Structure 1
Amino acid sequence: MNANKKTVIVFSGDLDRAMAAFIIANGAAAMGNEVSMFFTFWGLNILRRPDKVKTQKSFLEALFGRMMPRGAERLGLSRMNFGGLGALMMKYIMKQKKVNTLRELIETARALGVKMIACTMSMDVMGLKKEELIDGLEFAGVATYLGEADESNVNLFI
C-alpha cells in the first residue's frame, strides 16, 4: 500500500458530483499524491467532447449517445436540477464566487498529472468510442482500477 496514492471511481455524471471528484483529486495531486480517476458508466459523460464526432454506430448506440449529455458543460445537478435551471444557477453563483468551472478543474487535473482512465466495458455498453472522448485519457478495464486501488490508501466512489 502506498500512502501517497489515491483512487477515485467516477460513476456519476452529475455536475456537483463531478466537481467534487475533481476538487478532491486536484487537492490530493497538489499535496504530492499520485491520483487515478476511473470513469465508468454515467461518469464517462464528463469526458465526452462537446462537439459531435462522426463514428460508426448501431442504431441503439447512436440513440443512447443522443440521450446522454455531451461533455462537462452540459451536465445537470444531482438534486434541484429543474430541467437544467439548477445547473445554470449553480454555474452563475460559481462564476460570481470565482470558483473554477468543471472544465477548468479537468485542465488542472491534467496539469497536475492526475491519471484519468475511461472504462472500456462501460464504453462498449454505452456505445461510446474513443474518438468521442477528450484527449489525454487512458483506456482500461476494471482489472486496471483494482490494481491501482490495491496500491492506494484511499479509494473513493463518487
Structure 2
Amino acid sequence: MSDKSTIIVFSGDLDKAIASFIIATGAAAMGKQVTMFFTFWGLNILRKDQYVPTKKSFLENMFAKMMPRGPEKLGISKMNFGGIGAKMMRYIMRKKNIASLAELMQTAKELDVKIIACAMSMDVLGIKEEELIDGIEYAGVATYLAEADESNHNLFI
C-alpha cells in the first residue's frame, strides 16, 4: 500500500461536497496522492454552471433539467428548505472566511488531486463530457478500484 487516499463522491449535496473537498485537499497538502471518483449525483458537482448545448434523448434532457448544474446550485442534505439552507450556509461560510466549494475545487486542482467522473454514471444520467468542468478524467469502476487497491484510506461520501 502506498500513501494514497481515495474518495467516492456519490452525493450531490453541498455540505457533503464541501466535506469531500476539505478531506481531499487536506490529504493532498499532507503529501498524499488523492483520487476522487464522482459517480451518480456527485457528478452534479462537476457540471459547468452554464448550459452547454448537446445532443440528448428526451430522458437525458429531463435529467439535465432536474439536476443542479455546478457547485453554486447544490442544496444541503438537511434543512435545505427550498434552497434557503444552502444560501444560509454559503453566507455563514463567507462571513467566517471559510473557502467556498468552488475555491476548494480550485485548490484541489492546484494540489494535483485526481478527479475522475464515472463514465457509466454519465451514460445513465445523460451527462456529456463537454458539460463537465475542464481538467478532469473519465473512467469506469475498474480504474477507481485500481486506485483504491493501492490506497490506505478509502472514503464513501
| Structure-1-length-normalised TM-score | 0.99
Match of 1:150 in 2: 149
Q: Percent identity?
A: 69
Deviation of residue 145 (structure 1)? Answer: 0.3
Equivalent position of 2:79 in the other structure: 80
Q: Is 1:5 aligned to 2:4, yes or no?
A: yes
Give structure 2 stretches of 5+ with no counterpart: none
CA distance in 2 between counterparts of 1:10 and 1:85 reads 23
SS of the residue corresponding to residue 28 of structure 2 reads: helix
Query: In structure 2, how many angstroms separate the alpha carbons of the residues matched to 1:125 and 1:71?
Result: 18
Q: Per-residue CA shift, 1:91-118, capped at 9, x if unaligned?
A: 0000000000000000000000000000
Deviations, residues 80-136 of structure 1 (Å, cap 9, x unaligned): 000000000000000000000000000000000000000000000000000000000
Deviation at 1:154, TM superposition (A): 0.3
User: Is 2:16 the partner of 1:17?
Assistant: yes
For residues 90 and 145 of structure 1, the distance between their equivalents in structure 2, rounded to whole angstroms, comes to: 31
Structure 2 distance, partners of 1:64, 1:119, is 16
Equivalent positions of 1:83-94 (< 5 A) are 83-94=82-93
Query: Across the two proteins, how many residue pairs are aligned to each other?
Result: 157
* 1:71 CA drift (Å): 0.2
Aligned match of 1:104: 103
> Counterpart in 1 of 2:133?
134
Q: Partner of 1:54: helix, strand, or coil? A: coil
- Matched residue type, 1:60: L
- Which position in structure 2 is the counterpart of 1:39? 38
SS of residue matched to 1:100:
coil
Deviating above 3 A after TM superposition, structure 1's stretches of 4 or more consecutive aligned residues are: none
Give the match's secondary structure for 1:152.
coil
RMSD, aligned CA: 0.3
Alpha-carbon separation, structure 2, partners of 1:17 and 1:7:
15
Name the amino acid aligned to 2:152.
Answer: N
2:149 maps to a residue whose letter is D
Partner in structure 1 of residue 118 of structure 2: 119
